[in-house]
Structure 1
């Protein structure tokens, strides 16, 4: 993560973003169904599997994850195992690339992006627009032993929890549609997870020493064609909304809105935070609301800047971006950012779990799951999945 801002200067860039801001007033957003209070109350919070020492979901990510090291490989295997065993209906892909770094002495370093997605049964990949939840999973080379708990182990765990929490509701929704004789091919909403590699600089942040995985994937998806007659020409154009989570897990986060065309989604998250707090679902007492720009109109959101992060190669290709990063005006990033203190012990676990619930709610609203979320199903499923995750982790430890 760089402290520098993305500078989108030039007449062409200004005209583009002014036009996008105006279009926002004319073009409705994606289908989006708000959850009732009862459904919000039913959302599960992370429990034992988020324990930073023994939790089967979270603790395996809390280790150094520099590309090309054993820790990096172990975390990638953890992601794959989680989706294969806990969410078997999801498709998994890996996107591989190589690049030279300032410290690789002319040798290529491998980077592996992890991709998981779930579409309506029978739907063609090219006909489904996907809500895309994103975090990077690599960690910095320095300081030595750097964990990167907020940057970005915790965001990865938040996304995993959210996907697990809505998975059975997706089953119910699509089964109900089939039973009612509805054509599932007309259900154009899918969901996707990207855990991107090589976000961190190896030496000093620059346009070439950073965002290795994001740059490779954006370019690949921009040139990979879907079958003829598909609704979406490329995998890149099928991203309905690119939601990037970064530097999350410290107390009292400050989340700004950076792009007018996705300000409605930002406001939806702000509304969800407020409602979840009023219902007692969030446990971290905030100094102020997390989403500090909620009261702004879209035309008040400045589109000419933004923090340099994995979204940039996608933004440059026209993808709609919602950047969820903790950055306070006049204060900067969380105090542990890029220091040895960015470890598990410095996380605020109530905040980590609150983010997990919030992202679950946002994904459930996007996927229109109001009728299909059930509290007892979630309680039972969470218990079963936590038990299976613990067994899986124990087996790996024994090996």
Structure 2
């Protein structure tokens, strides 16, 4: 093969690689920007620091400390907001706290990523640790915060919300649940913040080994479409939409105020015989959680934010 032939062949190979990179789904180009293994490790650390996090407990205080410890750089800039409030519950007034971590973007608008960080209050007297139900998604948002610290949003601002009081204090109802996001939605309606929110996205129960994210019908249709596109972009479509149902979750107070909302949740958490066998039981433990599922969740969240920026 002469020099010209070798050069032509090399150019052909380079052009083929370039075309492949251009045609590759954009999310795969930034694949694993947040490590599922790192999120899993954070979940372990969170559970060790605050295994039982029901409101008013030492574990709840430890959980608050854990969150604040991971956002000291944002606190120094005034971008960690402590939102203390008092909620009227079936057992009286309870003090609760939301934490908001702000990562300013370059466009006018806010994408909110939210999760509850506490554990179920009625289960306070059993060994309920909420590894999937609150712990792993708290770890996921902390890891996403670390990513946005190093890679500031180039589109809309991204705000992380660690909300309190998602769980019922006595028995789930419209008045005994979602305390943190009901408070926050009302507060942001009053000060005008809510008009700047482009999407309010909830992370809930998306760490377990057999995860398949529910097509949640209280979510805004165009955001469900973006989540489906994100599944294709990231190669995770098999983790989406095997089941469909309406779920009452932290997005509802914002949906009621006409904010676009998306609940990223796998409500089925159990066995084929009993799809809710692990939900709100002592079986919701770290052995049910998978770094692979947390990787899928991290990839999807990053890609959905990117797609909303482009929407």
Q: Which residue of 1 aligns with 2:130?
A: 148
Matched, 1:138 2:118: yes
For the aligned residue pairs, the C-alpha RMSD in angstroms reads 3.1
- Shift of residue 276, structure 1, vs aligned partner: 2.5
Question: Partner residue of 1:178?
Answer: none
Match of 1:77 among 65, 68, 71: 65
1:272 match: secondary structure: helix
Instruction: Give runs of aligned pairs for residues 13-32 of structure 1, distance below 5 A.
Output: none
1:196 counterpart residue number: 163
Is 1:168 the counterpart of 2:158? The answer is no
Counterpart among 319, 325, 330 of residue 259 in structure 2: 319
TM norm structure 1: 0.62
Deviation track 1:250-288 (CA, whole Å, cap 9, x = no partner) reads 21324214257x3333222223223323xxxx6xxx9x4
Structure 2 vs 1, CA of residues 192 and 90 (structure 1 numbering), >3 Å: closer, same or farther?
farther
Secondary structure of the 1:67 match is coil
- Structure 1 runs of 4+ off > 6 angstroms? none
Secondary structure at the aligned position of 1:147 is classed as coil
CA, structure 1 residues 135+41, in 2 after alignment: closer, same or farther (shift >3 Å)?
A: closer
Of 89, 92, 97, the residue aligned with 1:112 is 97
Equivalence map 1:120-135=2 (5 Å): 120=105, 128-135=108-115
The counterpart of 1:216, out of the listed 183, 188, 194, is: 183
- 1:59, distance to aligned residue in structure 2 (A): 4.4
Matching of residue 46 in structure 1 with residue 59 in structure 2: no
Preserved contact between residue 114 and residue 163 of structure 2 (Cα < 8 Å): yes
In structure 2, distance between residues paired with 1:308 and 1:132: 18
Matched positions, count: 281
Q: Distance in 2 between matches of 1:254 and 1:365?
A: 18
Q: Name the CA shift for 1:68/1:166 in 2 (closer, same or farther; >3 Å).
A: same
TM score, norm. by length of structure 2? 0.78
Structure 2 gaps, min length 5? 1-23
Are the aligned partners of 1:326 and 1:334 in contact in 2 as well (CA < 8 Å)?
no
Distance 1:366 1:332, change over 3 A: farther
What secondary structure sits across from 2:296 in the alignment?
helix
Q: Could you list the runs of 5+ residues in structure 1 that have no partner in the other structure?
A: 1-33, 122-126, 174-186, 225-233, 294-300, 369-399
Which residue is equivalent to 1:30? none
Q: Between the two structures, name the one with larger relative contact order (CA 8 Å, sep ≥ 6).
A: 1
Matches within 5 A, 1:226-265: 234-250=192-208, 251-259=210-218, 262-265=220-223
